[in-house]
Amino acid sequence: MTVTTAMIPLMGILLPIILVPTILGIKYAQKERELDHAERMKALELGRTLPRDESWWSPARISVAFGVGVPIGVFLCAARAAETSDAWSLVIWLSAGVVGLAGVVSGAILAFHHFEHAANPRRDADYAGAKPAVDADAFDVSAIAVTETPNTLEAPRCMSFPS
């Protein structure tokens, strides 16, 4: 048996082992792309963004960076300033402490506001010009009575109230 005659049965065995998973993988990737496309179109239709479309700098990360970055920056500047002037050391460190504390508190407030909004997205809908939930029959606001006769329509008349 020569090499070429041995290659025919070997290729007959290896060809399906290579082709079947490749074809199945291509079909799976195509189906996955179709589902991703359908998901993206539905999200666009509903006015939502997909998680992978959001920026890395979300409001929560910005507020955490603000709450961490401001105090670190202030204390590094205070340490550098305190090295050069000994007379103002107490004032520098007190100022750094106040600004650092303000940065931490501001970052915590921003993060809390963001997480509260993320947990209750409907809460802000009341203030965004949304229509209030009011029973239409609860209020009678008509002040004009329209009388209708079978043949003619009369002009609207104001209701007269007894005095």
Give 22-40 pLDDT, tens digit per residue.
Answer: 999 999 999 999 999 998 8
More confident residue, 32 or 57: 32
| pLDDT in the model for residue 29 | 95
Q: Which tens digits make up the pLDDT trace of 73-130?
A: 999 988 888 887 677 788 888 999 999 999 999 988 888 888 777 777 665 555 555 5
| pLDDT in the model for residue 27 | 96
Are 67 and 104 in contact by the 8 Å Cβ rule? The answer is: yes
**What's the DSSP call for residue 23?**
H
* Alpha carbon distance, N-terminus to C-terminus of the chain: 122
The percent of residues above 70 in pLDDT, for the chain, comes to: 69
Around 92, how many Cα atoms within 13 Å sit in the side-chain half-sphere? 16
Question: Which stretches of 16-156 are assigned E, i.e. beta strand?
Answer: 144-145
Residue 148, pLDDT above cutoff 60: no
